[in-house]
Amino acid sequence: MKKNLLFVLFLITTASTLFAQAPAGWRSKVSPDILIALDKGEKPDFIVVFNEQADVSGAGRLKTKSEKARFVYRRVTETAARVQANATRIVRASQASVNSLPLVNAMAVEGADASLARQLAELPEVTWLGADPWVRFSGPVDSKPDAPAERSVLEWGLEKINAPAVWALGYTGQGITIGGADTGYEWWHPVLKTHYRGWTGDSATTVHLYNWHDAIHELNPLNGDTTSNPFNNPCGLNATAPCDDHNHGTHTMGTMVGDDGLGNQTGVAPGAKWVGCRNMERGWGKPSSYLECFEWFLAPTDFNGLNPDTDKSPHVINNSWYCATFEGCTDLSVNELLHTAVINLKAAGVVVVVSNGNDGGTCATTSNPPAYFEESFSVGATRSNDTIAGFSSRGPVFIDNSLRVKPNVCAPGVNVRSSIREGKYAYFSGTSMAGPHVAGMVALMLSANPDLAGDVAAIETIIEESAVYLADTLDCAPNSPGTARPNHAYGWGSIDAVAAVNAALAYAPVPVTEAARPEAGVFPNPVTEDVLFDLKNVAGKAVLEIFNAGGQLVFTKNWTARQRELLPVSLKDQPEGVYFWQIRASNGVVSGRIVKQ
């Protein structure tokens, strides 16, 4: 009897343990913030992170920006369509709304309850349900109204980087498109209107399609609004024409292209055209809204998000914002999606310019995405006397333990006069003002040598190596003195448009040697139990993944490939049906189909 009682107690204990562990499986894949909200019966917004990213390495073997953009777009959309199939079906069967983000193979979900969250988290192809909070962007560190009596004929930042000398050579950014992701843009401002890519010469016929995107689809409840109040929320939602509800975006674009032809020459590249995306609502953004703008810049779409066109992708985009960690942007898995967005846009031939942040004064203050990413071309701010602004964030980067040097370069960022809403002007200070100088200079370089377009690595190298060396007074690490080049305050130095354009004119594309593409034969096929992969030209770190017809991952193997080898795989425990396989290696991707009988 005692043994039976002990056995019963054992069963109860075991069942209790299993019951307690059952939800832990899926709950371990959900952000703590999301779990808290779900447990309260709320329906929080979150981002679904999948376990696979598209292999876009092949873009590096293509010559033109247009070819690269098409290649990357095809890769990311094909990967997302396959990997997200189950999740898409589940979400569509619910009352929640979903916004797929193929650029980073993720999806933003709104209005999901605990049941839906669990179904998504239980999918083997889903690695994380990440927080998608509203994050406040503080904007410029200082601002003051325009004082016409105090200003010179030409804005000091333009003179400092030698932009007028480049204009004199005949290069003003003509033929180049600059993109901006920010609080929006007052497109009809006198210094911006004629430079807008959609401008036709008539306001009534100006084309906003493919030239503007609004990533704001809901009001920010942290602003206290429950309805779209035109006095508090002048842009509303899903605006079909450029609109700015904060001034910040209009100011940054004015520094890139602004010129009204009447003496207000605020822009580095007045001959360039601009397109824009609003990723903040009155100064508040979400990781999903930031990602959506990155997504749109790869292949601008119509207002329904359809008919993407990679040929309308800008050459360079300015990002004078950051997802502040102290404001809640702390989900590293979601931050990594922002990182992937930067990587994939660069692979598509787009230069991604990022402001380095306004948390400076000391070392190791570059800590907000996307500024700290290695692939982001981040910009610090200088005063008119070539000293670093006290607010300009410094490296080294500690948040990912890389200790990398940031920023890449610096540019004018204190008391920068540019456009704001209602056709007015103001002086702003911040690294937000420095980044647009660099984006504008990229347009000057590309107008001087269009063959440079799409070669992001070359563009960034030219900007760094042509910069004017400046030494810092702070030694931010024992092996990283302020006198180093690059250093953690100025990076490689202060940008010089004349030197950069001269280097761009001397640029000649380096012939790309076509690497042997990976090959794989599968025997036997159809298969009953074991299958053999006959691999050829598979090099470096490689991964083999096999998916069933529903898109679920049923087998994976990571290894270091040896060019030519035989790889046995057992499908004995898998049911009959069609399976899809993919091998990703350092030199490319190969895929195919297996029939299990």
- Residues 82, 149, single domain; the answer is no
CA-based nearest residue to 535, from 569, 580, 565: 565
- Sign of the torsion formed by the C-alpha atoms of 30, 36, 38 and 44: negative
Q: At what angle do helices 456-466 and 497-505 cross, to 10 degrees?
A: 130
- Residues 166, 315, single domain; the answer is yes
Report the amino acid identity of residue 530: D
Report the amino acid identity of residue 102: P
CA distance 577 to 571: 11
CA distance 341 to 383: 31
Select from 101, 132, 163 the last residue of a domain.
132
Query: Is 13 within the bounds of a domain?
Result: no
- Residues 44, 187, single domain; the answer is no
Query: Is 315 within the bounds of a domain?
Result: yes
Select from 105, 132, 159 the last residue of a domain.
132
Phi, psi values for residue 108, rounded to 5°: -95, 130
Half-sphere exposure (Cβ direction) of 343: Cα atoms closer than 13 Å: 16
CA distance 206 to 202: 6
Query: Is 234 within the bounds of a domain?
Result: no
Express each pLDDT in 188-212 by its tens digit.
Answer: 999 999 999 999 999 899 999 999 9
CA-based nearest residue to 571, from 587, 540, 548: 548
Q: Which domain holds residue 582?
A: 519-596
CATH number, domain containing residue 62: 3.30.70
Query: Is 236 within the bounds of a domain?
Result: no
- Residues 301, 395, single domain; the answer is yes
Query: Is 495 within the bounds of a domain?
Result: yes
- Residues 68, 128, single domain; the answer is yes
Give the number of residues written for the chain. 597
Query: Is 326 within the bounds of a domain?
Result: yes
Instruction: Pick out the chain residues at pLDDT < 70.
Output: 1-24, 148-152, 223-232, 512-515, 550
pLDDT at res. 11: 36
Q: Is 235 in contact with 173 (CB distance < 8 Å)?
A: no
Going by the DSSP 8-state scheme, the letter that residue 120 receives in this structure is H
Q: Judging by beta carbons within 10 Å of its beta carbon (0-12, 13-18, 19+), is residue 397 exposed, middle or buried?
A: buried
Give me 158's structure tokens.
Answer: 């333009």
- Residues 90, 171, single domain; the answer is no
- Residues 498, 546, single domain; the answer is no
In sequence order, the 6+-apart residues with CB closer than 8 A to the CB of 158 are 164, 265, 266, 267, 268
Phi, psi values for residue 85, rounded to 5°: -55, -50
Residue 108: CB atoms within 10 A of its CB come to 22
pLDDT at res. 152: 64
Whole-Å CA distances, 496 to 382, 415, 438 = 13, 19, 10
- Residues 348, 483, single domain; the answer is yes
Report helix, strand or coil for 118. helix
The number of distinct structural domains making up the chain is 3
CATH number, domain containing residue 542: 2.60.40.3080
Residue 38: in which H helix or E strand, if any?
Answer: helix 32-39
Query: Is 3 within the bounds of a domain?
Result: no
Q: What is the pTM of this model?
A: 0.83
Q: Is 482 in contact with 311 (CB distance < 8 Å)?
A: no
Whole-Å CA distances, 332 to 25, 132, 336, 338, 397 = 20, 12, 6, 10, 15
Q: Is 350 in contact with 316 (CB distance < 8 Å)?
A: yes
Give me 378's structure tokens.
Answer: 């981040």
- Residues 106, 188, single domain; the answer is no
- Residues 192, 72, single domain; the answer is no
Select from 132, 153, 183 the last residue of a domain.
132
CA distance 10 to 333: 39
- Residues 485, 574, single domain; the answer is no
- Residues 406, 554, single domain; the answer is no
DSSP 498-545: HHHHHHHHT--PPPPP-PPPPEEEEESSSBSSEEEEEEEEEEEEEEEE
Query: Is 513 within the bounds of a domain?
Result: no
